[in-house]
Amino acid sequence: MSTMIVFEDADTGEHLGNARVLERHRFGPDATPWSWALLAQLADVTVDELRELFPGTSALDVFYVYRVEPVDDDGFFTGLIAAR
């Protein structure tokens, strides 16, 4: 089963693209080896920049990091139909 995501601009509603989720990683204090430092290294930003980008995460015990691949509209709809 595939999980598909639609990306839209929150202000304009403009369609920015589609993606298929390839992997989901649990991210949290004791959940996995995933840490702010590792995520910062992968994103090529500092930990402080990440915390600014995701300010609400400090209130969460656990959240998820997704690895996705872009898909065009045909691939998106094929993925939705296959998931049924």
Segment 40-66, tens digit of pLDDT: 898 899 989 988 888 877 777 777 888
Across the strands, what pairs with 4?
A: 20
Cβ neighbours of 28 (radius 10 Å): 14
Residue 30, pLDDT score: 62
> CA-CA distance, 49 to 53, in Å (whole number)?
6
Contact (CB, 8 A) for 17 and 29: no
Residue 36, pLDDT score: 79
Picking from 16, 28, 27, the residue whose alpha carbon sits closest to that of residue 67 is: 27
Q: How many domains, in total, are found in the chain? A: 1
- Range of the structural domain that residue 34 is part of: 4-83
Picking from 58, 70, 73, the residue whose alpha carbon sits closest to that of residue 19 is: 70
Residue 68, pLDDT score: 92
